[in-house]
Amino acid sequence: MDATPHPATQCRQPMAWKYALLAGFAVQVLLVLFVTLIGLRQLDLATYNLESIVDVQMRKQNFAKAMALTARQRTLLIFMMSKTDDPFELDALLMQFRQMGSEFVAARQGLMAMPLNDRETKLLERQRQLIIEAQPIQEHIVDLIMEGRDRNVIDLVLSEAIPAQNAVQAIVTQLDAETQHSVTDASRKARVVQAVARSWMLWLSGASLLVGVIVAVLVLRYTSRISIERERLATHDTLTGLPNRMLFLDRLEQALARAERRNALVGVIFIDLDRFKRVNDTLGHASGDQLIREVAQRLRAASRAEDTVARLGGDEFVVVIGEAGGVNDILQVAEKMLAAIGRPFRIAGHELFSSCSIGISVFPNDGADSSTLLKHADTAMYHAKQHGRDRLHLYDPAMNAMAEERLQLETDLHYALARHEFIFHYQPQLDVDGGRIVAFEALMRWRHPTRGLLAPGDFLDLLEAGGDILKVGRALLLDACREAAAWHAAGHPELGMSVNVSGKEFWHESLLANVRDALAQSGLPPAFLQLELTEGIFMEDMHAAIERVHELKALGVSIAVDDFGTGYSSLAHLKRFPLDAIKIDRLFIRDLVQAPVNRALITSILALCEGLRLAPIAEGVEDAAQLDALRVLGCRIVQGYLISRPVPAAEVPALLQRDWAQAFDRAAGMGNQEPVGLERS
């Protein structure tokens, strides 16, 4: 059997997936932007570091090298000046010496203008101190050289100038080495920054790639789930999760193929809920949907694991019983389902009693293909519904003729109301003590153009199924009230009118307005209109039924329970309704004389009526013996063929003028020699 999540859950899941994918794509886009921004920032930083190395560090190194070079050249120039005797050469060397000094000073100032580390600053400071010491020595030697050729100048150059200049040179050489070290260190730091930037970019790129992979996987999974969900929506009912018609037919074809190979039977069970529309009309479609879901659950629980339970639509279900060993196996499953649906339901705070009609067809006896089997199971289901509902029927070929006849009747019904073919016949209710008619029951008839006068049993189910019962009931209720008002005007002011109300009419929202309008248009006092309701109507929704009966009573009409004793009523339920009369069903009257148990039951019903102050009315009185027995038991009001069949309105005056006391005496004298046929009214 199929287990499917609730439709609401199914609807929420795609939305959750959609939001998850959108979030994944958003995270991926943000990561890509983040990686790009970080990468650009790190590249800018690396570029700046490289520019610093190329510009600052290299300039520092150039200045340091220039200082070292000029310092060495000045030392060499002093030595050369001490060796030359040519005054012109001496002047040229002096000019170079001065020029080198200026270049040294310029290089030193340029270096000092650069960003320096602590080591470079200390070396420049030390170099400045050594220059302060060396410069006077150099100037003194130069002055001696320029003034005369003192032979001691060479010694001064070697002993004082060169060592002082070498000290400066040594510091300058250290400074040059330090600047080279700075360049190396700056290059190393730039490489570190580059490595860090590369690591970040690789890590973030990897994270972005991972998110992309995850999103891609989610997209694939989501599209796969969407595909599966679409396939499921195409093959399953969204309300119940059961297979729909398409999947049911596929499963049935598979079951038929297996059964043909293995020489087994396949059962097709067609299930239709009885009076389901009434639940929608009274409690709303939400309650109707809940009932359908609970019915689906009960059908799945009652079926076997290998069976297929499907919903065709509305309140129609179908079950495939595969590889059955015999017809009894199929019937057992169907009976379990019938019993499961018969248990009370709790819907929207109301206790509901439901039933179903079941039709069964069997492969290969009733058809060799899926469409034929389904059609025959449907036909059998309608046969079960026509014969009282809450039952099951196996398909019989004779049902086809009945189905064709039913189809023709359905067609004729569409035109019957427009042609005014529905009428009332009236059956009297007689007070046997007073010998007078106290009321008439209005009984629907259909003057069919070809089949003659039809009783409700031939067409009422079709009329209710098609929904036309509301229009017909409204029109006939008005006719009955007008007829009763006419009898009052003709000199019979005490006559009551009893009209049957179907379950569909009772539960429809227009009932109160229809009754009110019929009374207003006809002028009939409300006290003379009695509405007859069956016990089953009360049991469909006890609380709502009590409320509706109180509303009807507020209009001034009286309420009677029709066919009492054949439904679900109990004393506990009966006392909760504000009733006026109980009509004892003909089944108790038929064997009243021969069956003591019926006599005892009627005695109990009469005692119940006396205790609850209800008027008892005996239906189906057919002979004088039954009438005498009812008189003895104390039932005053009787109705049946012994009194009169239902007659057209034109024949009512004759019944009102009849001497009923004399008629009873004549009937008692004749015994029961003239049998009266029983026609279901």
CA distance 277 to 279: 5
The verdict on residue 403 lying in a domain is no
In this predicted model, which residue has the larger pLDDT, 564 or 553? 553
Is the pLDDT at 673 greater than 50? The verdict is no
Residues 361 and 503 in one domain: no
SS3 state at 364: coil
* pLDDT computed for residue 7 by the predictor: 46
pLDDT score, position 2: 44
User: Coil, strand or helix: which one is 269?
Assistant: strand
CATH number, domain of 650, equals 3.20.20.450
Residues 468 and 585 in one domain: yes
Residue 624 lies in a domain: yes
Among 184, 202, 231, residue at a domain's last position: 231
**Residue 663 covered by a domain:** yes
Same domain, 269 and 212: no
On whether residue 267 sits in a domain, the answer given is yes
**Candidate from 127-136, 440-449, 483-492, 625-634 with smallest mean pLDDT:** 127-136
Reported as a pLDDT band with limits 50, 70 and 90, residue 11 is very low
What is the overall mean pLDDT for the chain? 81
- The DSSP H or E segment spanning 455 is none
- In angstroms and rounded to an integer, the radius of gyration of the C-alpha atoms of the chain is 57
**Band of residue 679 on the pLDDT scale cut at 50, 70, 90:** very low
Give the CATH number, domain containing residue 156: 1.20.120.1730
Residue 61's pLDDT is 72
Handedness of CA 158, 161, 167, 168 (dihedral sign): negative
What angle, rounded to 10 degrees, do the helices at 245-262 and 370-386 form?
110
Residue 680 pLDDT > 70: no
Q: Name which residue leads in pLDDT, 97 or 9.
A: 97
**What pLDDT was estimated at residue 1?**
42
The answer to pTM > 0.85 is: no
User: Tell me, what amino acid is at 527?
Assistant: A
Q: Cβ(278)–Cβ(545) under 8 Å?
A: no
In this prediction, residue 640 carries a pLDDT of 92
**Starting from the edge strand earliest in sequence, which strands make up the sheet with 308-313, in order?**
308-313, 316-324, 265-273, 356-363, 391-394
What are the C-alpha distances in Å from 254 to residues 249, 257, 297, 313, 367?
A: 9, 5, 24, 22, 15
| CA dist., res. 153 & res. 141, Å (int) | 7
**pLDDT-based confidence at 133, cuts 50/70/90?**
confident
How far apart, in whole angstroms, are the C-alpha atoms of residue 649 and residue 481?
Answer: 12
Tell whether the model's pLDDT for residue 496 goes beyond 90: yes
Distance CA 269, CA 242 (A): 15
* Residue pair 293/225 in contact by the 8 Å Cβ criterion: no
Q: Would residue 677 count as lying in a domain? A: no
395 close to 374: Cβ distance less than 8 angstroms: no
Distance CA 58, CA 519 (A): 116
User: What's the total number of domains in the chain?
Assistant: 3
Summarised one tens digit per residue, pLDDT across range 270-326 is 999 987 877 877 778 888 899 999 999 999 999 988 899 999 988 999 999 988 888
DSSP helix/strand/coil, 446: strand
CB 157 within 8 A of CB 78: yes
pLDDT of residue 487: 95
- The three-point CA angle 264-265-269 to 5° equals 155
Question: Residue 663: exposed, middle, or buried by beta-carbon count in 10 A (0-12, 13-18, 19+)?
Answer: middle
Strand partners, 428: 440
pLDDT (mean) for 511-528? 95
In terms of domains, do 86 and 227 share one? yes
Looking at the structure, tell me whether residues 284 and 178 fall in a common domain: no
Q: What is the mean pLDDT of residues 410-420?
A: 83
CA dist., res. 154 & res. 84, Å (int): 11
How far apart are alpha carbons 348 and 673 in whole angstroms?
57
* 27 and 59 housed in the same domain: yes
Type of residue numbered 30:
L
Tokens of 595: 């069956």
Looking at the fold, whether 277 and 141 belong to one and the same domain comes out as: no
Query: Are 38 and 158 members of one domain?
Result: yes
Amino acid present at 331:
L
Q: Which residues pair with 637 in a beta bridge?
A: 431, 617
Number of helices (H) and strands (E), helices first, in the chain? 24, 16
Same domain? 558 vs 522? yes
Domain boundary among 344, 367, 396: 396
Q: The domain that contains 287 carries what CATH number?
A: 3.30.70.270
Closest CA to 294 of 242, 226, 255, 334: 242
Q: Which of 231, 260, 288 is the last residue of a domain?
A: 231
Res 42 pLDDT > 90 = no
pLDDT in tens, 23-33: 666 666 666 66
Q: What six digits make up the tokens of 126?
A: 């030390």
Could you tell me if residue 628 is inside a domain?
A: yes
Q: How far apart are CA 189 and CA 187, in angstroms?
A: 5
- pLDDT class for 53, splitting at 50, 70, 90? low
| Amino acid at site 344 | P
Query: Does 251 have pLDDT greater than 50?
Result: yes
CA–CA separation, 245 vs 123, rounded Å? 98
- For residues 642-655, give the mean pLDDT: 93
The values of phi and psi at residue 638, to 5°, are -130, 160
Distances (CA, A) of 235 to 251, 300, 304, 583: 11, 17, 21, 50
Mean pLDDT value across residues 449-476? 84
Q: What is the phi-psi region of residue 430: left when phi exceeds 0, alpha when psi lies from -120 to 50, beta otherwise? A: beta
Which residues pair with residue 271 across a beta bridge? 317, 358
265: left (phi over 0), alpha (psi -120 to 50) or beta: beta
- Bond from prior residue into 7 cis (ω within 30 degrees of 0): no
User: What range defines the domain where residue 119 resides?
Assistant: 7-231
| Same-domain check for residues 322 and 432 | no
Secondary structure element (H or E) that encloses residue 127, with its range: helix 118-147
Model pLDDT for residues 331-363, shown as the tens digit of each residue? 999 999 999 999 999 888 888 888 899 999 999
| pLDDT at residue 661 in the model | 74
Over 70: is that where the pLDDT of 15 sits?
no
What band does 676 get if pLDDT is binned at 50, 70 and 90? very low
User: What average pLDDT does the segment 665-672 reach?
Assistant: 56
The continuous run of DSSP H or E covering 327 comes out as: helix 327-342
The pLDDT value given to residue 675 = 35
Task: Report the range of poorest mean pLDDT among 462-476, 579-593, 633-647.
Answer: 462-476
Confidence of residue 46 (pLDDT cuts 50, 70, 90): low
pLDDT per position as a tens digit, 226-248:
666 666 667 888 889 899 998 89
2 falls within a domain = no
563 φ/ψ sector (left φ>0, alpha ψ -120 to 50, else beta): left
> What pLDDT shows up at residue 256?
92
602 with 486, same domain: the answer is yes
Question: Mean pLDDT across the stretch 475-490?
Answer: 94
pLDDT at 192 over 60: yes
- At 292, give phi and psi (nearest 5°): -60, -45
Six token digits for residue 527 = 């006290």
pLDDT at 48: 67
Strands (E), 237-390: 265-273, 308-313, 316-324, 345-347, 350-352, 356-363
Instruction: Provide the pLDDT for residue 681.
Output: 35
Both 262 and 365 in a single domain?
yes
Residue 172 belongs to some domain of the structure: yes
CB burial class (10 A; 0-12, 13-18, 19+) of residue 562? buried
